[in-house]
Structure 1
Amino acid sequence: MKLVGQLNRVVITGLGALTPLGNNINDFWNALVNGVSGAAEITKFDTTNFKTKFACEIKGFNPQDFFDRNDARKYDPFTQYALVSVAEALKNADVNFEKLNRNRIGVIWGSANGGTSTFQDAVSEYATGNGIPRFNPYFYPKMIVDIASGVISIKYGLRGVNFTSVSACASANTAIIEAFNFIQWGKADMIITGGSEASIYEVSIGGFNATKALSTNNENARTACKPFDPDRDGFVMGEGAGALILESYEHAVSRGANIIAEIVGGGMTADAYHLTSTHPTGAGTSSAMFLSLEEAGISASEIDYLNVHGTASSVGDISELHSIKTVFGLDTNLSISATKSMTGHLLGAAGAIEAIACIKAVENDLIPPTINTQKLEPEFEGRLDLTLGKAKSKTVHYAMNNTLGFGGHIASSIFTKFRNKIDR
């Protein structure tokens, strides 16, 4: 453990993904850099009476391939997604818990909604059952938003710090930053972090339709999500999970781990402005980016790649563009991509799969594209590189990940190539 005032370096040693573009890291990354859209007609329920009839669902996922019947009944899909992505991340990190101190290994997970389908099904059953309260005994533990982190710790016997961050669509990025903090402070050696969401159900689609936030371009589902394009008409719902294994540098080296990348900065702020809208000038977002840069000890000009929140919302997109202008200026060498154009918006899990996109960009020196977008808002047209349509090879020393959530929650994190010696 470090002495007071000394901070641990924090490295990433494992990644796992279950997404609309692929059910493992390799398939997800390959689809992402090839500009594949995950959008298609919703299969989870009858959309006849809904304004939006499409989303970015996970494909080919069968819980019985991963869980026995009893466990599948106990876990909401958002917990199932979490467990599957974590299992892949642990395998990729070559973790053997039998050789590690489980008292110093924790879980900090992110989710905005928790067991959406569990809650919906229970209330529907009660409403149609003549008011007789025949609730399933698993109802509450399946539904609560912190259950995924608890189940992960139970499965692997991890007795370190354990909680779930809930900051709307910034939840997973917040969880990653919190994990970074706890390891920096010497309060944990390793933390499983990331986020999961399973919100493609009637209550979510109907609720977001009511706020006019979702795209209704049902005839062109695959090209419907157009971040920063003046012709955008809303975001596309997604689902899935992303998992990261964070460790202190010393702990990773001591067990001979393969280090993929390093996390060096995190900024968390609030817009303090509106229930659902971001600040018009992007004040909170630019503040979070400045904080993450300050912690990383670098200037804005050193960021090579920015994965933006970029949902294709009318207000949020313009706000984020203004925050980019504030921090980076225009006509810069910064490469940007809005990967929600392909994955859809995974809500509380968005920050996890987008952090993975940043880490893979750092690892492979490859910028994933923004698809569907044809032009930018007039003020920014031709003055920002959104990597439109096609991935781009570029050396990526530093990548930044931005996430914004209802209630004004904002998180920004920075990843970099791992170096044995720090020269920053």
Structure 2
Amino acid sequence: MLSRIDLRDRDLTARELLDVVPRAEVDVAAALRIVEPILADVKERGEAALREYGDRFDGGAPEQLRVPSAQIEEALLGLDPAVREGLEVAIDRVRRYHEATVPPPVSVELAPGATVSQRWIPVGRVGLYVPGGLAVYPSSVVMNVVAAQAAGVESIAVTSPPQRAFGGAVHPTILAACALLGVHEVYAVGGAQAIGMLAYGAAAADGGVLCEPVDVITGPGNVYVAAAKRAVNGTVGIDSEAGPTEIAVLADDSADARFVAYDLLSQAEHDPMAGSVLITDCQDLADQVAQHLTDIVGSTKHDVRAKEALGGVQSAIILTHSLDQSVLVADAYGAEHLEIHARDAAAVAARIRNAGAIFVGAYSPVPLGDYLAGSNHVLPTGGTARFSSGLGVTSFLKAVSVIEYSADALAEVGDKVIALANAEDLPAHGEAIAARLHRD
């Protein structure tokens, strides 16, 4: 089922490994050509365009695109108590972790009367996209909303595709999660059109305002959502262009093959394009994991999409000649989720440079992080963990420098500023300093 990439007799450089590790084939550029006219139409026609695209692409547009508050509260009343309890625990743990990660302000006195400070200021308004295609993700509501709330964002809008099974309404579990978090601005809009609505705002059919534009858009989605986020980046801030989900498991001969197999399967059930990768220097473990997957995949609910994902080019068993090479391969892959199943797993995890999130040891599986480990599950995909981070409070914060010099502090360095300004042939810069140094 899983293809094999054998590196045991090859010592490849980090650059060469980038061309070897498996990747999902996602053409965001092609999707961009499709979504650009949709975005332009939403910007121009607002609610009318949103309704047309909802009918065409999603579960049909409901009577009110903005979900009434009463409907949100009603969804909470009808929520399964066990699901509610799980969401409440998730909210508590995710909130405690994210509040602890808010960066503190910094103030440095560089000389008497010369102070430079850094303040972290939350953006004013955010739009949070919650997907609703092959699965329902109230957990994504928690991850996006709690991070924004912990950052201090005051205006939060959530949007999620209308569901045909619910008469064009947002899935009630998503609405219930919003209710638990105190979010009452929710829209039954999905896809690229939702990104356009958040980025540009949207006029209502009656000539009023349906949705005000936001400052930052976050949340995962399909390739069209990713392409739309690329198109509006610069008009608004975005977290990332999320691609298909992926897991890599770095394991040695001490790993439990059954655990590894179930963890690889857990990601494969997300999407036919999901990536499941085992990196190991133990062929016996690789054989056992492959056999376990064959044994269990047929009994899982979403066996068809899981089999397609596990058999795709984006999934593989990568055989290495040593733990050191396994670490190099893991860094080249830069997994969204990286599990470490090895002796002294914490020490191995400390060697990893590139991963969205690292799950250490046999009892820290990815599904724990998907829901209530406390970390955020909106993570970089497709190898972008080499240069980007997962969603967190800083996704909604701006670092602003505050400079305050006294007259004496400016006088101490004024001549040096003038010299540098003249060296750059910007004499008016120097004159602005000189005017303060020679006021008589």
Say which one has the larger Rg.
2
TM bucket normalised to smaller: under 0.3
TM-score (norm 1): 0.26
TM-score (norm 2): 0.26
More helix by share: 2
